[in-house]
Amino acid sequence: MRLERLTLLRPNMGDYRSTDGMQPMSMAILAARTPADVAVTFYDDKVEVIPADDQPDLVAITVETFTARRAYELAAGYRAKGVPVIMGGYHPTFLPEEVLQHADAVVIGDAEGVWEQLLDDFRGDRLQKVYSGGNDQPLRDFRQDKTIFIGKKYIPVEPIQFSRGCRFACDFCSIRAFYQDSLRIRPVQETLAELQTLNRRKLLFFVDDNLFSRRNELNALLTALKPLGLRWSCQISIDVARDDELLDRLAEAGCVFVLIGFESLSKENLKQMGKPWNHVAGDYASVVRKLHQRGIAVYGTFVFGYDHDTEEIIDRSLEFAMQARLEIANFNPLTPTPNSPLYDRLKREGRLLSPKWWLDPNYRYGDPIFIPKGIAPERFAEKCFEAKRQFYSWKSITLRVLGSDAGLDLFRTGIVGLANLVSRREVMRKQHRVLGT
């Protein structure tokens, strides 16, 4: 088959634009690994309208569970024009058979290692249905072609990746389902070389789901980062706060914002989700205090819907988030995504309201997906949204940003202020939206 023009595509959850779009790293990786004689165009449905007259020789779409419906609609449009479609990412890795009803080929796991082969097969008329990039190739050669992002309106954040996978196994987590036991870490020197090419005026963000993968490697990274004077953010497991010295090193290395999954105030819930260790660093308030004392802002996430949850726990979590002056917080209804132990359990227990909710035209973002034990489904969804609304009310934003006890400098106040505005806007806009059109 002819391959002169390739379109890379990142769908949004529906046919609308968002204000929290960040450069999708997967697309830059694919672009960099595409032969130089192929003209690559990237469209990001999150931030721009995809031209209806786009007519490439091949289209490759990255698909998450929340974007699957929209991805299938876009794919149908291309296939109607005779353009073959490739899909990869989280959702195709979890449900390749479903995805193959909408695509000509699917990539499971990493793109590295199979993308070049796939394109070669396409050119030689031997395209297979399934390609597996697996999750065990060493994390080397992190080529990315970021020219595909030029001119697109993204938030001022530069993504970078140090590791893939997580040493924990929370039952709701897609990272665990995707990478399983595999935990790979990039060589520090290669990561540093990339860091030095990034735009220092933006906030750097490690997209790793847990930067605290292995102590030695984290220490090596922090040591290397310290003299660079960069300012960066990351997602990290709470056990980092067990070690005051490690927290000092984090701050000295330029960490200004961390996302921590607090998940629940109930120990029984933490146990049920496979995260009983979330209390090893002491109570949540003291963890936040320790981070604030070092000038590190905190994005705390909570999830509701486990069996010991009640309305009162949602209220208490909101109260905690306000009192601890979390700079950002999220109060998510528990979402059973395919291939997670949580999904399988709720299905077995007959508690899923719509087993393929991501395809259900009646599902709206924020709707209950299953029947919780301690609270009626509708009430539970309402309470989660209400917690978000209150946390992002103007009064709360003003109090938390201006009254932050993290001693924020101008740069940090700017980031925290912007993050609140974007979160407020997205919370309001996403709620009750259908997936797809």
- The smaller minimum CB distance to ligand B12, of residues 26 and 128, is found at 26
Among 3, 31, 56, 62, binds ligand B12 (CB under 6 A): 62
Residues 332-361 that bind ligand B12 (CB under 6 A): 332, 337
166 binds, among ligand SF4, ligand B12, none (CB under 5 to 8 A by kind): ligand SF4
Q: Which residue has the tokens 């919780």?
A: 372
Binding of ligand B12 by 25 (CB under 6 A): yes
CB 234 within 8 A of CB 259: yes
Tokens matching residue 113: 């290692």
As measured in angstroms, the least distance from the Cβ of 223 to ligand B12 is 24
Each residue 78-117 as x (binds ligand B12 by CB under 6 A) or -, in order, gives --------xxxxxx---------------x--xxx--x--
Binding of ligand B12 by 12 (CB under 6 A): yes
CB-based burial label for 240 (10 Å; 0-12, 13-18, 19+) = buried
88 binds, among ligand SF4, ligand B12, none (CB under 5 to 8 A by kind): ligand B12
Q: Cα–Cα distance between 284 and 262 in angstroms, integer?
A: 8
Among 26, 41, 128, 413, binds ligand B12 (CB under 6 A): 26
Closest CA to 250 of 230, 265, 270, 277: 230
- The smaller minimum CB distance to ligand SF4, of residues 154 and 172, is found at 172
Residues 118-177 that bind ligand SF4 (CB under 6 A): 166, 168-170, 173, 175-176
Residues 249-288 that bind ligand SF4 (CB under 6 A): 261
Alpha carbon 47 to its chain's center: 17
Q: Cα–Cα distance between 290 and 109 in angstroms, integer?
A: 37
CB 16 within 8 A of CB 433: yes
Binding of ligand B12 by 209 (CB under 6 A): yes
Q: Which residue has the tokens 């306000």?
A: 322
Other beta carbons less than 10 A from residue 293's beta carbon: 14
Q: Cα–Cα distance between 197 and 146 in angstroms, integer?
A: 11
Q: Residue with the closest Cβ to ligand B12? A: 88
Q: How far is CA 408 from CA 235, 425, 432, in A?
A: 19, 23, 35
Among 19, 161, 413, 431, binds ligand B12 (CB under 6 A): 161
Other beta carbons less than 10 A from residue 323's beta carbon: 10
- The smaller minimum CB distance to ligand B12, of residues 180 and 293, is found at 180
As measured in angstroms, the least distance from the Cβ of 213 to ligand SF4 is 9
As measured in angstroms, the least distance from the Cβ of 166 to ligand SF4 is 3
Q: Which residue has the tokens 């672009």?
A: 31
Q: How is residue 370 annotated by DSSP? A: B
Other beta carbons less than 10 A from residue 26's beta carbon: 17
What is the binding site for ligand B12 (CB under 6 A)?
A: 12-13, 20-22, 24-26, 29-30, 46, 60-62, 64-67, 86-91, 107, 110-112, 115, 159, 161, 173-175, 207, 209, 332, 337
What is the binding site for ligand SF4 (CB under 6 A)?
A: 166, 168-170, 173, 175-176, 209-210, 237, 261
